[in-house]
């Protein structure tokens, strides 16, 4: 599990696509000696399994693989060599839960429809995909490209967030613009509440 607090911005050094999916090599400031094969790292909000680590050019790197289903539900299929990517290592027992509970299971891809400055912060507007808009509520939480954010407003399938200067500086959000696509994970609590409501309405035992 993750918290949505990005702890590093990596760079895609290798991008290898095959019929089995995609393999990425990502450079990182993490101490790769502490990352074992089989460990999980959230890459732009997608929980991926580390398959190899190493060091080079005075910086460590790790490699992850994404299967076709993951590529279909996320923006990882759009990523190119040289792109930067938000990273987060999984929560450990006893760590502070500073964001919200994030699983790294992306539900779909949202599109940025607006960006405007608001003092030192930036307000982004998004279009949620499919039927995911019903899971998003004002003052609730969403995860966008691996970043835990608070929803400021909702209008049907469109919603907004405000991103503070610190987050703009230490994540990829400073470079985001209208038209960009980002990974969206809805709040897991909203997911289960919707399931309970549907089950109750159908008359099935809860």
Residue 2 lies in a domain: no
**Beta carbons within 10 angstroms of residue 149's beta carbon:** 23
Q: How many domains does the chain have?
A: 2
User: What average pLDDT does the chain have?
Assistant: 91
Q: What's the length of the chain? A: 206
What tens digit of pLDDT does each residue of 111-127 get? 999 999 998 899 999 99
Residue 95 lies in a domain: no
Query: Binning pLDDT at 50, 70 and 90, where does residue 189 land?
Result: confident
| pLDDT cut 90: percent of the chain above it | 76
Question: Residue 84: which CATH number?
Answer: 2.40.30.20
Q: What confidence score (pLDDT) does residue 64 get? A: 97
Give the structural domain span for 179. Answer: 108-196
pLDDT at 49 over 90: yes
191 and 117 in a common domain:
yes
From 59, 88, 117, the end of a domain falls on 88
Q: What confidence score (pLDDT) does residue 199 get? A: 61
Query: Binning pLDDT at 50, 70 and 90, where does residue 203 land?
Result: low
Give the C-alpha distances (Å, rounded to integers) separating 171 from 43, 70, 197: 12, 22, 36
Rounded to 5°, angle at Cα 60 from 55 and 63: 90
């Amino acid at each position: 599990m993750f918290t949505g607090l990005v702890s590093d911005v990596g760079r895609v050094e290798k991008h290898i696509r095959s019929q089995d999916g995609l393999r990425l090599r990502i450079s990182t400031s993490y101490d790769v000696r502490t990352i074992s094969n089989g460990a999980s790292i959230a890459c732009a909000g997608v929980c991926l399994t580390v398959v190899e680590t190493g060091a080079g050019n005075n910086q460590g790197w790790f490699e992850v693989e994404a299967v076709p289903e993951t590529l279909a539900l996320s923006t990882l299929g759009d990523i190119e060599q040289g792109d930067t990517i938000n990273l987060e290592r999984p929560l450990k027992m006893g760590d502070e839960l500073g964001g919200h509970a994030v699983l790294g299971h992306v539900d779909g891809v949202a599109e940025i429809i607006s960006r405007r400055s608001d003092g030192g912060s930036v307000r982004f507007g998004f279009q949620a995909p499919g039927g995911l808009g019903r899971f998003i509520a004002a003052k609730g939480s969403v995860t966008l490209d691996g970043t835990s954010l608070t929803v400021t407003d909702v209008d049907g399938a469109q919603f907004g967030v405000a991103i503070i200067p610190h987050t703009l500086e230490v994540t990829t959000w400073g470079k985001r613009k209208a038209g960009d696509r980002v990974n969206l994970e809805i709040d897991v609590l909203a997911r289960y509440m919707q399931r309970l409501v549907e089950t109750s309405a159908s008359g099935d035992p809860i």
